[in-house]
Amino acid sequence: MRRLALALASASTLLLAGCASAVAMPEARDQSTAVPFTGCDSVACTGEINGAAYEIVMPESWNGTLLIYSHGYRPAEPFPPNFNPVVTTPVPVPGWDSGDKGLGEALLERGYALAGSSYASNGWAVEDGVRAADEIHAFFTEQIGAPKRVYVWGDSLGGLITQTVAETADWVDGAAPLCGVMAGLEPNIGLALDTAYGVQQLMFPEMEIAGYDSYEDALASWEGAASRLIESARDQDTDAIARIFTVAAMVDAPSQTFTYDGTSIVSTVSGTIESLLTALAYGTVGRYEIDTRYGGSVVGNVASDYASRLDDAEREAIDAIGGEGAADRFVTILDNGPRVEANPTAMAAAIERGGNPSGAVKVPTITMHTKADPLVIVQNQTFFKDRYNAQVAEGNVTGGLLQLYTVPPPEYSQESGAPYGAGHCNFTPESRIAVIELLDNWVRNGVYPGPAAIEQAMGPLSGYNANFTPGAWPARAAVVTE
C-alpha cells in the first residue's frame, strides 16, 4: 500500500504570475555595493541559538543586503506520503542543506549575505520560526555586520513565517513569501479537515477524522484512506471515481500535480488522488500535531455548507462519471454527516499564535505561487489579496504587493515531472533569483516592478504567466479573526 501511495503522492506546487498592487513607494535606499563585515574565520557562522541550529554564508564582497530564509513545514514524526526521516538542519537558502548549492552560489555572486536556521520545534512551528528569524537577525547584526537592507523570504510554512515577521518586525525592508500559507492556519487546516470528512463520508466510513489519541492513530487513518482511494482507481470503479472528484471539487484540489499533467483521464484521476492524499496527510497526521500544540481541535466543520462548493460544471462532470443525479446524491451525504466541533480556546490560540496574516503590508512584498499546488492551494493568494485590499481601504498599508504566478507547460512526462508551475514550491532557480532582484530594485530605488521588468527578470523558462489569476477561496463557514 505504501509503495502505491508513494507512486501517487509527492507533494509539490506553488508559483506564477500577475496580480500587482502598489500603495506607497519606498524612498531610494543606500546604494552601497561593498560593505565591511566580520568574516566567518572570526565569528561562528554555524551553531545554535536557543535550540535552533543556524547557518550564515557570506559573499566575498558584501552588497550590504542580508537575506533571511525561513524553511517550510517539517514534520515532528515521519510524514505521509513520503515518510522521510525527521530533520533539524539549518537552511540559509533553498537547496543548500541537501547539497544543491546552485541557487545559493548565484546569490552569493551577486553580493547577498545568506542566513537561515531550523526552528526550536518541528511541526506547525510558526512562533518558533518567527523567533528564529528575529534571533538570527540580531546575531548577524551584532557579530557579522550592520546590514543596509534586510529581506525576509521563505517557502510554504516559511512563507507564512516570512509574512508574519514582515508584519511584526521593525527591521525588515522587503519580503518574499513564496508558495506561502498566506490565508493562515485556520482556513488551510479547515480545508484539510474538509478533505478528511469528504473521504470519510463518501469513501471510507470507518475512518476516524478527529480525537486521535496518538500519532499512530492519525497515521492509521491516512493509510486506510490512501489504500481505499488507490484501490478504487485501480479497479476503475466509476462510482468511486465520481466520489473522489466530488471531494476534490469541494476543496478545490488540483488534478494537475508535479507528477501528473492531467492530459488523460488516467493522469487526471491519478493527479486528483495525489492531491487528496497530500491534503489528507495534513487532515490527519498534521492536525494531530497541531491540535496537540494548541490544546484541542483548532478547526471544525459544523457550519460548513458543502452543497454550495460545487458549481454547475463540476456537478455535470460528476454526473457524467457517476450517473445522473450522482452529484446531488453525494452532496446530500456530505451535508448530513456527523460534523466535527472546534474547541473555541484552541481555535483562538491557533489563530493568535499559528499564523494569521492581516494583510497590513508594511514593506515592499513579492509573492510567488505555482498554478497547481496540491498542498498549499494557489487560492491562498486570493485570500491574502482580499485581506490586503481591506487594509488598503482602512489606510493600514505602508508597503506594496506584487503577486506572481507560474503555469506549467501543457504536457510533461510522469518520469521527469513538471519543470515549473505544478507541484508545491516548484520554481526554477532563475525565478527565485528574479524575485530577489525585483525586490532589491524596488527597495533600493523605489521602483515598483512593471510588466516589462517582471518579464525580463523571470525569463522565458520560468513559467511566469502575467495572465493567470487564481480563483476564489473555497467557501466555508469559519471563524477567522482579522
pLDDT at 233: 87
Residue 475, pLDDT > 70, answer yes
| Full DSSP string of 405-460 | EE---S---TTT--SSSBSTT---HHHHHHHHHHHHHHHHH--PPPHHHHHHHH-T
Give kind and range of the element (H or E) at residue 400: none
**E strand spans, 35-127:** 46-49, 52-57, 65-70, 113-117
pLDDT at 77: 94
Using left for φ > 0, alpha for ψ between -120 and 50, and beta otherwise, residue 421 falls in: left
Provide the 3-class DSSP secondary structure of residue 401.
strand
Complete domains list, the chain, with CATH: 2-182+358-458 (3.40.50.1820), 186-349 (no CATH)
Is residue 33's pLDDT more than 70?
A: no
Give pLDDT, residue 482: 36
Q: Are 18 and 405 in contact (CB under 8 A)?
A: yes
Other Cβ atoms closer than 10 A to 324: 9
Q: Output the pLDDT for position 26.
A: 54
221-244 confidence digits (pLDDT tens): 999 999 999 998 888 899 999 999
What number is the average pLDDT over the span 107-119?
97
Q: Which residues pair with 464 in a beta bridge?
A: 406
Q: Which helix (H) or strand (E) holds 171?
A: none
Q: What is the mean pLDDT of residues 391-413?
A: 97
Report residue 245 CA to chain centroid gap.
Answer: 23
Q: What's the pLDDT score for residue 235?
A: 87
Q: What burial letters (b/e) apply to 446-480, b meaning 16+ CB within 10 Å?
A: eebbeeebbbebbeeebbbbbebebeebbebebeb
Q: Are 202 and 334 in contact (CB under 8 A)?
A: yes
Q: Which amino acid is at 84?
A: N
Give one DSSP letter per residue of 172-228, joined into a string: -SEEEEES--TT-HHHHHHHHHHHHHHHHHHT-TT---S--SSHHHHHHHHHHHHHH
pLDDT score, position 32 = 64
Q: What percent of the chain has pLDDT over 90?
A: 87
Sheet of 365-370, strand order: 19-21, 401-406, 365-370, 174-178, 149-155, 65-70, 113-117, 52-57, 46-49
Greatest extent of the chain over all pairs of C-alpha atoms, in Å: 73
Q: Count other C-beta atoms under 10 Å from residue 391's C-beta.
A: 18
What is residue 236's predicted lDDT score, i.e. its pLDDT? 87
Grid cell in block for residue 231: 484501490
- Alpha-carbon distance of 395 to 363, in angstroms, equals 14
The whole-number average pLDDT for the span 92-116 is: 94
C-alpha cell at 466: 502575467
Q: What is the pLDDT of residues 131-168, one digit of tens each?
A: 999 999 999 999 999 999 999 999 999 999 999 999 99
**Per-residue model confidence (pLDDT) at position 21:** 47
Is pLDDT at 3 greater than 80 in this prediction? no
